[in-house]
Amino acid sequence: MKIVFLAPFGIRPKGTVVARMLPLAVELQRLGREVVIVAPPYTNPEDSGKTEILRGVRLVNVRLPVGGKALGAPLLAWRLLKASLAERPDIVHLFKPKGYGGLAAMLMLWFGRVGIRMPRFFLDTDDWEGRGGMNDLHQYSTAEKRLYAFQEQWLPRRAVGVTVASRMLEGAIRDMGVEARRLLYLPNGVEDSALGDGAKARQRWGIPPEVPVLLLYTRFFEFSQEKLHRVFAEVHRRVPQARLLVVGKGRQNEEEELELAARREGFAEALILAGWVEVADLPDYLAAGDVAIYPFADTLLNRAKCPAKLTELLRSRVPVVADAVGQIEEYIESGATGLLCPPDDWQDMVDKTVEMLENSQLRRQFGVAGRQRLLDRFNWQNLAGALDSFYRELTGNANPGS
């Protein structure tokens, strides 16, 4: 069986290709399938037209057209479809029901309706794209928003099968009329990896080994900034020796807001803004944390998400205090592998964070248990096996070796 994974964008700097598509492709190839990733590298235009091998998986970066979005979109969609069909796949699996890849899939489906033989079409969705979702987060044009909302509704109904990264999306796709047998719950997983060296990151920022570190690994837009400021201020008041380490970069100057709040509320000396961290250095930064918080507002967008950053934290054996929203409740068993809070109760997050910071035995217990539960229940090897069975069941290919 040969499969094309049709990517929503390039491999850099965004994470979907590396964090979700690539590990699935690697594990499927271990099962004897051949997987090729076809990507529109508009996020990394320097790779336009190049083919590369990533962990044994071939990545085809189609050649980008010249001109703006409106003029270039049809041509880029055509090139994506042409590159996908050139692989002569049995299956084309589109990741994210939107954009250039979505247009390529729509072309493929239309060709199939007029009698041209096409590969079986599968769809993966890991976000809510329409109103209340990504459309509200990004500065898309009105035309783009309408297109993405339409694609999100049109493509799932016409796919042979749909993989979903969250329980919320599972219900939303079912509400579109997609029957249960054509749906596969496929959350983000992890691969086992060595733990980072937290001492390196601590040394980089001058944090002594005995000083407790509260870690926030984030892109900021998933929660109220006011809530974060209150949590940091109160934790600092109750555990003044703790450092507040923030790893990640915001979209709308959230770091500047946080620095202003730190000066206003008196925790500026404890705050460390590490910013965007190189992938190779990230395990060391995560390992530097004694406790991590994961604030997550109760919104449609967040309920649809399957937060990969949370899986990275749990894999790093850092105990996590998180808001009980959406997929977080599947990843963390409160009181056994971490602590969950009502999403509107910042004081509860403070209380539980302080409890963890002051109890080293509880930190070790939750850190070890959280990592083990993640590796046992959400590993890419098992998830890829479920995906392979899903393909075979819906395509009628019952022979595991083909």
Condensed to tens digits (0 to 9), the pLDDT of residues 227-286 reads 999 999 999 999 999 999 999 998 888 999 999 999 999 999 999 999 999 889 999 999
Q: Which two tokens stand for residue 255?
A: 């770091």
User: How far, CA to CA in Å, does 162 sit from each of 73, 203, 336?
Assistant: 25, 46, 32
Give the model confidence (pLDDT) of 137-175 as tens digits: 888 889 889 989 999 999 999 999 999 999 999 999 999
Distance CA 164, CA 372 (A): 24
Give residue 397's pLDDT: 72
Residue 398 has pLDDT above 70, yes or no: no
Spell out the domains of the chain, with CATH numbers in brackets: 2-189+379-395 (3.40.50.2000), 198-377 (3.40.50.2000)
Residue 16 has pLDDT above 80, yes or no: no
Give the model confidence (pLDDT) of 203-236 as tens digits: 999 999 999 999 999 989 999 999 999 999 999 9
Distance CA 110, CA 104 (A): 10
Burial of 350 (0-12, 13-18, 19+ CB in 10 A): buried
Give residue 69's pLDDT: 64
Residue 32 neighbours by CB under 8 Å, 6+ apart:
400, 401
Give the model confidence (pLDDT) of 34-51 as tens digits: 999 999 999 899 999 999
Give residue 68's pLDDT: 63
**CB-based contact 395:277 (threshold 8 Å):** no
What's the mean pLDDT when you consider all of the chain? 93
Distance CA 201, CA 166 (A): 33
- Helix, strand and coil content of the chain, in percent to the nearest 5, comes to 50, 15, 35
User: Residues 148-172, buried b or exposed e (16+ Cβ, 10 A)?
Assistant: bbebbeebbeebbbbbbbbbbbbeb
User: How far, CA to CA in Å, does 300 sit from each of 113, 129, 134, 265, 344?
Assistant: 34, 10, 10, 31, 15
pLDDT band at 294 (very low <50, low <70, confident <90, very high): very high
Report the length, in residues, of the chain. 402
Residue 399 has pLDDT above 60, yes or no: no
This prediction has a pTM of 0.91
Give residue 101's pLDDT: 95
